[in-house]
Structure 1
Amino acid sequence: MKKLVLILIGFIPFVIGLQMNTWLMENQDRVLPFEIIGIVFLIFWILVGFITSKFEKTPLKTAIIINLPAFLVLLLIMYQSIILGHTWPNLFGLATQMYFLPLVNISSKIIGILFFYVHIWSASLLAFLLMFVASYFGSYLRRRLVKS
Structure 2
Amino acid sequence: MNPALLLLARVAETSAEVAESTSEVANADRVYGIGEALGVALFVWAIVFVVLFIIFVCIRLFGAVVGSATKAKAPAPVTPAATPAAAPATEDPGEEFSSGSLKLKGCDEKTAAMIMAIVSDNTGIPLSELIFKSITLVEEK
Scaled by the length of structure 2, the TM-score of the pair is 0.23
- Which structure carries more relative contact order (alpha carbon 8 Å, separation 6+)? 1
Q: Which has the higher helix share?
A: 1
Return the index of the structure with the highest Cα Rg. Answer: 2
Q: Which has the higher strand share?
A: 2
